[in-house]
Amino acid sequence: MDNNLSLKNKKILIISLISFFIVFLDQLTKYLILKNFNINETVPIINNVFHLTLIKNTGAGFGILKNFNFLLIMISIAVIGIIFYYFKKIKENQLLLQVLAAFILGGALGNLIDRARLGYVVDFLDFRIWPVFNIADSFVTVGIIGLIVYLWKKG
């Protein structure tokens, strides 16, 4: 019984720590960008390949649902709720699923904080061939792709 309790606590600890780290990293980078850049300012890191460009994203990925902040907040809360619901179904020995859930949770929380606090999401990673995005977006994307691959291989 004690071993099951410690495994359950380990699962909670893993997901919590990874999610917290993602939110911290995401919010720190956004804070630094907001403090040092003006809107639409761009600084080349690798000219014509990778720039830091500050934009206010009032929509979701690829600019869809612009100015639907309340709806996007509700969607974020729903996604977070789904993660917590399925969290119970992740077994203690399924470390990869725990990490992927933490990636999605941390990313969703990072962008939710922006939407609730600022009314938009701070985006700044600009690869010039893709819409500008942020750390939270990166973790959500990796988490979802990883989950799809995991489920595909499992099925």
Kindly name the residue from 26, 114, 126, 137 that is annotated as catalytic.
137
Q: Which helix (H) or strand (E) holds 122?
A: strand 121-126
Closest CA to 114 of 133, 127, 98, 142: 133
CB of 89 within 8 A of CB of 97?
no
Do 55 and 132 form a contact (C-beta atoms < 8 A)?
yes
Task: Kindly tell me the sign of the dihedral angle through the C-alpha atoms of 16, 10, 103, 50.
Answer: positive
The one catalytic residue among 26, 114, 123, 126: 123
137 is catalytic: yes
What span, in angstroms and rounded, lies between the C-alpha atoms of 76 and 96? 22
2 a catalytic residue = no
First to last CA, the chain: 32
Element (H, E) at 59: none
Catalytic residues: 123, 137
